[in-house]
Structure 1
Amino acid sequence: MTARAEILRVAEGLSLGPGPVALAVDVGGTGMKAALFDSAGRLVDALTAPTPECTQSAASEVMAVIADFRSTFAADHEGHPIAEAAVVIPGIVDEAGGTGIHSANLGWRNVPFRSLLSESLNLEVRLSHDVRSAGRAEFELVEDTPDDAVMITIGTGIAAAIRVGGRLISAGGYAGEVGFTEVSVDTAEGLFRGPIEHIASASSIAKRYSQRSGTAVAGSLDVLDAVHAGDPIARQVFAEAVDGLGAVCAQIAAVVAPETIILGGGLSGADELLDGVEAALRSRLDFHQMPSIRRAGLGPVAGLIGAGLLTRDPA
C-alpha cells in the first residue's frame, strides 16, 4: 500500500489549479488513499487505509472509510473546510450516472456511490474510474505526453486509460478493461491462455510464485525482490507476466496506435518490467507503429491526483 510519505513527496509543488477545498479519494484493490487539496489546488495532507475485503458489505465499508477520511481532515485542518469531494473506484464505472457497475475484485454491482456518498458526506461528490483518472492526471500533468497515449496500471487487476486525439475515451465506463483481454504465453507449466489479469496482475504474480515455489509472499514486489536475488522461479514467473503484458500492448498498438504506452502501478518502478515489455512488444509488431514505453511519472499517486482534478474540471 502506498505510504502517506510517498503521496506527500510526489505531490510536493504540484497544483491542480484554483477551485473548492476538496477531498479526493482513490479506492484501490488493497489500499485506499485520500488527499485534502486547498483552494489553490495544493496538497494539504494525505491519509491511507486498507481497502475492506471483498464481501457483500464491501461497498458500505468503503464508504465508511471515506467518511472517516473526511472527519479526520476536518478535525486536523479546521482552516480548510471541505466543500466538494471526488472519489475514484475500480471496476466498471458509469460516471454520468454516478454508479459502480461492477468490481470483480471488490464484489459490488450497481452501487449508486455518488448519491450515497453525497448524502453521507453532505457534499457534492464526483465519481470516476481509478485508472481512467490516473491516466488523465498523467496525460495532463506530465510533460511531453502525446495526444495519442495509453496508460496501463498493473495492480490487483489490470486496466487502461486510453487517450485518442487528445480525448479520454470512456464509452460509458467500459473502455479500458484490458485485464480481460486473452493472451497466450508459454510458461514453465505449459501454455497459458486466458485473461492477462490471471498471469500479469500484481496479485496473480504473487499467487503464481507462491504456488510454484511453495513459498508464500505478501505481494508482487516480494517476487521482484526474489528476481533481484537470483531466484530462478521468480525470474520465470516475472518473465511470463512481462511476456503477457507485451502481448496486450501489441493488441493495443494494433487497435489504437498510441505514440506512448505508460506503465503504472508499484511494479512500474522496475527497469526489468519496462525493458521486458518493450522487447516483448517489439518482437510481436511488424508494420505497426512502435510506441515508446515509459513508467508513470506520478507513480501510484496518479489516481489520487486524478480524483483531485475532477473537482476542478469534471472532463
Structure 2
Amino acid sequence: MAVEEAERLAKSGQAVAAAELLANAGGGGDADAAMLLAVWLLRGTPLRRDLAGARVWLRRAMEIGHVDAALTEIALTANGSGAPADWPRALALLRTAAAHDPVGAAQLALVEAMALAPDGTPVGLPRPEPLHAAPRIVRFPALLTPAECAHLAGVGAALLEPARVIDPRTGAWVAHPIRTSDGGAIGPTREDLVVRAINARVAAISGTSVEQGEPLTVLRYRPGQEYRPHLDTIQGAANQRIVTVLLYLNQGFAGGETHFPEVGVTVTPRGGDALLFANTRADGRPDPATRHAGLPVTQGAKWLATRWIRAAPVDPWTIA
C-alpha cells in the first residue's frame, strides 16, 4: 500500500520520493495517503512545514471521506493556519461534518450552546471578582460550563505526559524539578471550535487578542502532585508572558489551592471558574510578587487548563 511504502521511503531518507508517492495515491482516491501527506506538511518532518500545502491535502482527504481530516481542517480554518482565520466558514464545515460524525455533532452542540458573535467571540462575560490590586489577581466565576470543562479535560487527556524539562547540561529530557503533574498542550490541529471559542473567551477577560495566547495546556494533578512556588515569566524572553489565566475544570478533590505567598492570597479551585493574574509590572519587567504555587492535591484528581498570554502575538507552530 502507498502509506506503508511512503513510510519506508521516508525512513530511508527518500522524503521527496515518499511525498510523490503519497501525492499520486491521494490524487487517485487514497484518503489515508492524502492524510499522511497533510500530516507530514503540518508536522514539518520528513518534509518542510507547509501549512497552505497541508490544507490542500486535508481538503482532498476530507473529500474522499477521511473524518479526521475534516475535523483538522475545521480547526485550522478557525485558527488561521495556512490561510486567514475564518470562523463562519469553520462553523459551516462543522455543521456539515456533524451530519455524519458523532464527534463533530458533539462539538457543534457545545458551540451552539455558547453565546457567540458571528466571529466566534463571546457575547457577555461573568462579573469579575477582584482578589488583589497589585499584582492584579481576579476571579471570573463560572466562566465555563460543566460541559465545556469536561470537553477540555477530554481533549487534554489524550495528550497527558509527565512534566519534563530539558537539562541544560546534557540536553536530555528530565523530570520537571518543581511541577509534578501530567500535562499536554492543545496545539493548532486539535484546537476544535469549542477550544477556539474558549480561547477567545480567555482573550476577552484578559483584554488581549486570541493570537497572544500560547496553546492551552491541560494539567492533571493526582494525590501528592503539586507545582512548587514559581513565576510564569520566562527569563530573558523578548516576548514575555504578561498574563496567566487558569481554568479550573473540576472540583470534588482536596488540596490543590492556588497560593500566592508574597501577597497572602489563596484561591480554592471551583470547577468552571477562571483565575487571572498579571505576571509583569507596568514597565514590562517580571513581578516577583506574582510568585505562586499549586499546592499538593491530597485526595482525588485536580484538572486545570492554563493559558499563558504574551505581550505580542505568538506562532503556535514554533513556540517552545
Specify the TM-score bucket, using the shorter chain as the normaliser.
under 0.3
Q: Which has the higher helix share?
A: 1
TM-score for the superposition, normalised by structure 1: 0.28
More strand by share: 1
Larger radius of gyration: 2
Q: Which has the higher contact order (CA 8 A, sep 6+)?
A: 1
